[in-house]
Amino acid sequence: MSRYVARRLLQMIPVFIGSTFLIFFMVYALGDPVAALFGDKAPDPATAARIRQDLYLDQPLWKQYLHYMGQVFAGNFGTAFNGQPVTELMGSAFPVTLRLTIVAIVFEVVIGIALGVLSGLRRGRPVDTTVLLLTLVVVSVPTFVSGYVLQYLIGVKWRLASPSVSPEATFGELLLPGVVLALTSLAYVTRLTRTSLAENARADYLRTALAKGLPRHRIVLRHLLRNSLIPVVTFIGADIGALMGGAIVTERIFNIRGVGFQLYQGILRQNSPTVVGFVTILVIVFLLANLLVDLLYAVLDPRIRYA
Amino acid sequence: MENTALLEVRDLRVEFRTREGVAKAVNGVSCTVHAGQTLAVLGESGSGKSVTAQAVMGILDSPPGFVTGGQVLFQGRDLLTMGEEQRRRLRGAKLAMIFQDALSALNPVMTVGAQLAEMYQVHRGMSGKEARARAVQLMDRVRIPAAKERVNDYPHQFSGGMRQRIMIAMALALEPDLIIADEPTTALDVTVQAQVMDLLAELRREFNMGLILITHDLGVVADVADRIAVMYAGRIVETAPVHQLYEAPAHPYTRGLLDSIPRLDRKGQRLHAIKGLPPSLTAIPPGCPFNPRCPRAQDICRTDRPPLFPVAAGRTSACHFWKDTLDAR
């Protein structure tokens, strides 16, 4: 097991280098950050050259990348063009997005699995058909539509929750955005749980459990659910990474100062250090989430052993 | 023979309601098993052996499967009219089942120890620790080497023979009065088959249990069974004490089955096979269901369904020409 983890961690290095270089290349090579700094005004050539030298922009790209990575590993993600250190932006953005992700995951797990179990155990009945139809609707409606609709209905019309989130972004304020963020994944979790349950309900070992004279609740909980939730748990694990980075739309709608918001601003203002820095962290989050999922898989299913 | 039967099945009927139509899987099966007796149920796939067993156990997939008639008297009480909770308490404790493929019949994500211990926890209310200790004893009992170390292993970590021993251990856990073994050795290597069968027979003797052995393997039957019931298209077509049936079958289908056993003294000759296929259960032919494949079929076989004729003491045959069949050795 530990050898497997070590190997996986080593494999992460080329993936990390490759993906960060790609984003570095795209951000720095395809735009002129110094020009962006001056907006509409043409910069004084001498000043521009000085800034370039200060920001290490007069070096070849691979040297810039190496320099940047060296800085990153020393804990310095550079400075945004407004003078704020990128680490400071991260320090304010990541906790907010993390809270948002937690809220979304909790919804996915609790509601998604509950609905999946409900419809999976009552296949073909009205409950099942209704749930299936609802998930289909949810999956087909894009987040910016469901987000604005829910914001208008719950936040503006019925005033059940605040339509926008304060800079503190407490858990309470993040409930509504959390639901919006979770919706699509929640629908997938429901469908996955239902299908998995239906598949395992026909398994031979379930007939054995029945023949053993076990009470129904024990058969469902110990035998059916335990087996059915393996793919669901791994899906949710992989979704953590996706939710952390993919909250751009939701964060925009509810004006949440999280990772998605900062990334959006960074891209809009060609704020290269911000974009590269945040993406670097997200790459790490993705890689770790994937490793976590693979390890979780082995824990949940004893038939899988990594050597 | 004892006066009260351990299990008496009377005119049991089971059908499967599917989109393609109603499949009549079991059509009036009656049979009796006494304590300490082994009844072998013989038949091809789809003859209704397993469905009968599942209906007796009460573990039929329903829907699509429905018991539409008959009685299942277990120690004098009808299981079919009993409340579900009452019936559940009997399952596993008084009548237990051994399944064919232990790899799929055991829960892949639970240790074998937990699956065995579960029997004691649920039916006897034992603590986890106590139940675990009993699980180890059970594994010793079915001769699994190093039971203490292996109790926390998962099913896939055992060999096929060992897995089937665990299945047997699970069925024996609460010392039931009746065990139904549904093709218990079919999924095993030939060398292991004999070991597992011997173990099962030995334990059956020791606990004086009744055993219903479902199989399509005539070789297995001869060694362990007292009586045989041959099934065809959801009916019992012949019942007989095992040796009498081997010596002189009273039904052409049984004759055909016996003739299909490959024999060393007829090496080089063509293997015998019964012509044709078993009928579709959605369209069982009128008259005797075996008539389209029967070498003896006459007009009466195509119109009149033969009842079970008493052939001799303890022998029945559902063939209009049972006498001719019996005489034509």
Q: Give residue-wise pLDDT tens across range B55-106.
A: 999 998 877 889 998 899 999 889 999 888 999 999 999 999 999 888 999 9
The confidence score (pLDDT) of residue B298 equals 87
Q: Which of A46-55, B118-127, B205-214, B234-243 is the least confident region?
A: A46-55
The confidence score (pLDDT) of residue B212 equals 94
Q: Which of A202, A208, A224 to mutate to test the interface with B (most CBs of B within 10 A)?
A: A208
CA distance A242 to B307: 69
Decide which of B7 and A36 is more confident.
Answer: B7
CA distance A9 to chain B (A): 27
Side chain identity, residue B262:
P
Mean pLDDT of A260-284: 86
The confidence score (pLDDT) of residue A55 equals 75
The confidence score (pLDDT) of residue B269 equals 76
CA distance B173 to chain A (A): 10
CA distance B79 to B177: 15
Q: Which of residues 203-242 of A touch B (CB under 8 A)?
A: 203-205, 207-215, 218, 222-223, 226-227, 230
pLDDT above 50: residue B1: no
The confidence score (pLDDT) of residue A30 equals 66
The confidence score (pLDDT) of residue B326 equals 83
Mean pLDDT, chain A, whole residue set: 87
Q: Which of A245-254, B7-16, B140-149 is the least confident region?
A: A245-254
- Cβ separation B96–A300 shorter than 8 A: no
CA distance B196 to B203: 11
The confidence score (pLDDT) of residue A307 equals 60
Burial category of A102 from C-beta neighbours within 10 Å (exposed 0-12, middle 13-18, buried 19 and up): middle
Decide which of A41 and A214 is more confident.
Answer: A214
The confidence score (pLDDT) of residue B221 equals 82
**What residue ranges define each of the domains in chain A, with the CATH number in brackets?**
2-73 (no CATH), 89-300 (1.10.3720.10)
* Long-range Cβ pairs for the range A140-148 (8 Å, 24+): A143/A180, A143/A181, A143/A183, A143/A184, A143/A249, A143/A250, A144/A249, A144/A253, A146/A180, A146/A183, A147/A177, A147/A180, A147/A249, A147/A250, A147/A253, A147/A254, A148/A253
- Cβ separation A303–B97 shorter than 8 A: no
Write down the residue that tokens 């639970």 correspond to.
B110
Decide which of A267 and B158 is more confident.
Answer: B158
Mean pLDDT of A251-268: 88
- Using alpha carbons, select from B174, B317, B155 the residue that is nearest to residue B236: B317
- Using alpha carbons, select from B314, B327, B309 the residue that is nearest to residue B247: B327
The confidence score (pLDDT) of residue B2 equals 46
- Using alpha carbons, select from B163, B64, B164 the residue that is nearest to residue A202: B64
A103-A104-A109-A110 Cα dihedral, nearest 10 degrees: 60
Q: Residue A220: its chain B contacts at CB < 8 A? A: none
pLDDT above 90: residue A237: no
Q: Which of A40-44, B36-40, B114-118, B292-296 is the least confident region?
A: A40-44
pLDDT above 70: residue B329: no
Q: Residue A207: its chain B contacts at CB < 8 A? A: 54, 59, 61, 99, 105
- Using alpha carbons, select from B72, B90, B94, B97 the residue that is nearest to residue B5: B72
Q: Which of A34-43, A171-180, B213-222 is the least confident region?
A: A34-43
- Using alpha carbons, select from A223, A60, A89, A220 the residue that is nearest to residue B110: A223
The confidence score (pLDDT) of residue A124 equals 83
What share of chain A in percent tops pLDDT 70? 98
CA distance A263 to A125: 45
The confidence score (pLDDT) of residue A104 equals 93
Mean pLDDT of A111-137: 92
* Nearest beta carbon to residue A203 from set B59, B97, B104: B104
> Per-residue confidence at A111, pLDDT binned at 50, 70, 90?
very high
- Cβ separation B91–A212 shorter than 8 A: yes
pTM of the model: 0.81
- Using alpha carbons, select from B113, B117, B123 the residue that is nearest to residue B144: B113
> Per-residue confidence at B210, pLDDT binned at 50, 70, 90?
very high
Q: Which of A19-33, A57-71, B137-151, B239-253 is the least confident region?
A: A19-33
Q: Which of A78-82, A123-127, A128-132, B229-233 is the least confident region?
A: A78-82
Range list of β-strands (E), chain A? none
Q: Which of B98, B107, B166, B174 to mutate to test the interface with A (most CBs of A within 10 A)?
A: B107
Give A173-192 as a 3 state SS string. Answer: CCHHHHHHHHHHHHHHHHHH
Range list of β-strands (E), chain B? 7-18, 21-33, 38-42, 65-74, 77-78, 95-98, 178-182, 210-215, 227-232, 235-241, 309-312, 315-317
The confidence score (pLDDT) of residue B7 equals 92
> Per-residue confidence at B295, pLDDT binned at 50, 70, 90?
confident
- Cβ separation A204–B104 shorter than 8 A: yes
CA distance B150 to A172: 50
* Highest mean pLDDT pick, A92-96, B111-115, B188-192, B258-262: B111-115
The confidence score (pLDDT) of residue A163 equals 81
Mean pLDDT, chain B, whole residue set: 88
Q: Residue A303: its chain B contacts at CB < 8 A? A: 108-109, 154, 156
- A124 touches B at CB < 8 Å: no
pLDDT tens, residue by residue, B158-190: 998 899 999 999 999 999 999 999 988 887 888
- B210 touches A at CB < 8 Å: no
- A67 touches B at CB < 8 Å: no
